[in-house]
Structure 1
């Protein structure tokens, strides 16, 4: 199936938002919507990563529709998954400071690209081997099973589980047990082991949405189906939030449904504008979408280098640029946002350059 401009629009906006929230001038001065919720809750920033996994699911539906689940297809899926995991590990391990690798005793193992690779692998296999009903049942089993485990099954020490940020949270317990010092935070990892399981459900909901897009229905009817599906997901997610709080760090079942609901609703809007009304998305969004993983990967590497390269005893390259160019603005939150916007501008130009040179780096 040909590329859908609406999907490119959502993907491009998601990558741009990722870069914006990951690169403030100062983490001490950030507008609240550009920060993750401290634990329970949902901010616009919390939508970004699940949106990307949701789009991965749509892409699976588009790319593997009518594909034969044979050895060659499985090999391609495995290869792509390993590439994504490898890129994520490279981000974690590489450093510009000699000996040019992080301390392997404490280096983070998991991360955004690693989760994308793992989720892509399992979601693709399930898409190729399950029909629509099978995928729906799988999503239900994952979400209900995760809720029952994390909410009701006692931990090995006999303690009752909790959804709070504590050692008695199943997701945190598993991460500490299996990852130890190799986590993003001392006590937990937001892309941890157990929470990766419900993130597969996020991708599978994208797969189901992709099935709507690839159906034989008219575009107008597809828009209606997307809206109804989004309202169902949102209602179910927000109701479940009463018992299983919306939480990105542990990727709660209510978080899966709510974020997929918002992604479906926004996709329905872009599908209506781009594919029904034939309104073109600004080209800079499409350029980013066509090299999404490349742009994200480079943004993470360069950001890490900017923090690691020292200018003097008081500054790294990042803080020096912020204090020299942006901090003179009277409002430090505005200055921090301006820095992030300038970083976004740089990657928009990079995406434009890659597009003009017809360079499309596929993972």
Structure 2
């Protein structure tokens, strides 16, 4: 019954999409400029609120006593400047247009005085609120959650029976702390990542931020890195307790890192769209490549210094309250040295044509003073070591800031802070190990770490989006981005731990199944992204509703595929 309801929902999303007759794109409105001045030709310029210190861009030129028409951005509020002859400013208007709305900007003389002007915006046709579709989908998926919980409860019973017949394999799979605590956050991040990569219904908050700041799309990858660090701590401790050789574990780490890197470079490579894959256009950095390098550094570091933690561990150290930190001081020194390297390269490296320590987007940002300095030192290092054609060609900054320089958000310099992010997740794992079954202590430490990371972020950013010392920036993986998302990560772990392990009121459904085949789901959704039934030709490609329906269907299909694989006990691990 719920399957039929879901299908009806998708059909409804497609059928009710409504757009005006004129040719507008998603997140645009129509603006008609009525120039009623008898002696002035008008030029209208615009600037989005989300474009920091940007140059105004020309929108419409309108001769005297005529009407000019053009599209205007409706994602965010914009500032319009109306200039007359000789660049004389007539008026300035701040307004947030609605998607597919029809507006008129009336410019005329005030009281027949040729030196005074009035500018007023009139709504000719009300905009279309496409966000209602998101609310409808959220409420509908909440209705079918009970069925998914029931299915998952049945699966847990089956696992318990299977454990009795095969205790060794199932104990490792079902009863580990990582299975109960780490997987829900990793599964959640994976599902959101798939939905975002498929387009997120073309909503701006499901796209990566153009430069500074955060959207939903900017949250999932660092959380995945964070929980990977937690998993490393728990899994290595478990294997060392079972007597596994460190050399054998090192071999597994090397092999897994190599496989992740090769899969990212050869199979999941966005530069396929530029033509047949060859060395000329091979993108070397990437999501899996960064996961590979991050996993290798953090896992090897943990393997070098970590010791198996007994179930009833009570290490004798001078300060028992810091028993999850003090024994690992060499790791902390290594991480501080790494962060020092990032800070020195970012703020001291001499980048030709750019000021030292430049963290801006270039393009029309910073009033157009540094158009080719996108990313500063981070981009410069990638260009020198990898070459321009071997990095990402279409960064998110080129939409709003109109940048023309290739920039890779998974570049070399940002990988340093990715390692820091995973190490903070590793610290969360140590808390779970050293304070096992001490619910209050675990939650208290998660809370303290969240507050500490939040305070560091507040200092670095000065609690602003663009004005701080080091703004939160996903493209650069700035240290403030790491501390902010780590703060969120500790909060999420605290909530999941409370719901799953303390109160036992949630089992991780409906995100359980994709987490059991996370690499397969990620690689599969990238490879088959443009194939039916994950994608099809739309009747109206400028409709949020159709994109939302298509992306939800594609994401739901991967959840269903992961469920089938789970039922068949097919798990692809590397």
Q: What residue number does 1:154 align with? A: 350
User: Of 377, 380, 391, which residue of structure 2 is paired with 1:183?
Assistant: 391
Deviation of 1:156 (Å): 6.4
Mapped partners of 1:58, 1:252: distance in 2: 21
**Structure 1 residues without counterparts, runs of 5 or longer:** 310-316
Query: After the TM superposition, which residues 150-299 of structure 1 pair with which residues of structure 2 at under 5 Å, given as runs?
Result: 150-155=346-351, 159-166=355-362, 167-168=372-373, 169-180=376-387, 181-185=389-393, 187-217=406-436, 218-241=438-461, 242-299=468-525
Q: What residue number does 2:247 align with? A: 71
Mapped partners of 2:343, 2:380: distance in 1: 15
Q: TM-score, normalised by structure 1?
A: 0.87
User: Of 517, 520, 538, which residue of structure 2 is paired with 1:323?
Assistant: 538
Query: After the TM superposition, which residues 133-148 of structure 1 pair with which residues of structure 2 at under 5 Å, given as runs?
Result: 133-148=329-344
Question: Would the alpha carbon gap of residues 5 and 322 (structure 1) be closer, same or farther in structure 2, given more than 3 Å must change?
Answer: farther
Query: After the TM superposition, which residues 12-91 of structure 1 pair with which residues of structure 2 at under 5 Å, given as runs?
Result: 12-24=187-199, 30-65=202-237, 67=240, 70-91=246-267
Mapped partners of 2:269, 2:419: distance in 1: 25
Contact preservation (8 Å) 1:322, 1:336? no
Mapped partners of 2:278, 2:218: distance in 1: 29
Mapped partners of 1:81, 1:101: distance in 2: 26
Contact preservation (8 Å) 1:111, 1:191? yes
Contact preservation (8 Å) 2:188, 2:511? yes
Question: Would the alpha carbon gap of residues 72 and 91 (structure 1) be closer, same or farther in structure 2, given more than 3 Å must change?
Answer: same
Task: Classify the secondary structure of the residue corresponding to 2:279.
Answer: coil
Question: Would the alpha carbon gap of residues 148 and 292 (structure 1) be closer, same or farther in structure 2, given more than 3 Å must change?
Answer: same
Decide which structure has greater helix share. 1
Deviation of 1:322 (Å): 4.6
Deviation of 1:284 (Å): 3.1
Q: Write the deviation string for residues 24-75 of structure 1: whole angstroms up to 9, x where unpaired.
A: 27xxx62222011101111221111111111110110011016267321111
Question: Would the alpha carbon gap of residues 60 and 286 (structure 1) be closer, same or farther in structure 2, given more than 3 Å must change?
Answer: same
Count, aligned residues: 343
Contact preservation (8 Å) 2:285, 2:411? yes
Question: Would the alpha carbon gap of residues 144 and 359 (structure 1) be closer, same or farther in structure 2, given more than 3 Å must change?
Answer: same
- Higher RCO (C-alpha under 8 Å, 6+ residues apart): 1
Contact preservation (8 Å) 2:282, 2:390? yes
| RMSD value, Cα | 2.5
Q: What residue number does 1:110 align with? A: 285
Mapped partners of 2:270, 2:213: distance in 1: 33
Question: Would the alpha carbon gap of residues 147 and 334 (structure 1) be closer, same or farther in structure 2, given more than 3 Å must change?
Answer: farther
Report runs of 4+ in structure 1 exceeding 6 Å deviation: 94-97
Q: TM-score, normalised by structure 2?
A: 0.56
Task: Classify the secondary structure of the residue corresponding to 1:294.
Answer: helix
Contact preservation (8 Å) 1:33, 1:44? yes
Contact preservation (8 Å) 2:254, 2:296? yes
Greater alpha carbon shift after TM alignment, 164-173 vs 221-230: 164-173
Is 1:333–2:544 an aligned residue pair? yes
Contact preservation (8 Å) 2:229, 2:422? yes
Mapped partners of 1:238, 1:289: distance in 2: 33
Deviation of 1:263 (Å): 1.1
Contact preservation (8 Å) 1:212, 1:222? yes
Deviation of 1:158 (Å): 8.4
Contact preservation (8 Å) 1:139, 1:205? no
Deviation of 1:220 (Å): 2.4
Decide which structure has greater strand share. 2
Contact preservation (8 Å) 2:347, 2:358? yes
Greater alpha carbon shift after TM alignment, 52-61 vs 62-71: 62-71
Contact preservation (8 Å) 1:69, 1:128? no
Deviation of 1:96 (Å): 9.3
Q: Write the deviation string for residues 101-137 of structure 1: whole angstroms up to 9, x where unpaired.
A: 4243012112111111111001101112234323333
Q: What residue number does 1:346 align with? A: 557
Mapped partners of 2:184, 2:232: distance in 1: 17
Question: Would the alpha carbon gap of residues 33 and 70 (structure 1) be closer, same or farther in structure 2, given more than 3 Å must change?
Answer: same
Task: Classify the secondary structure of the residue corresponding to 1:347.
Answer: helix
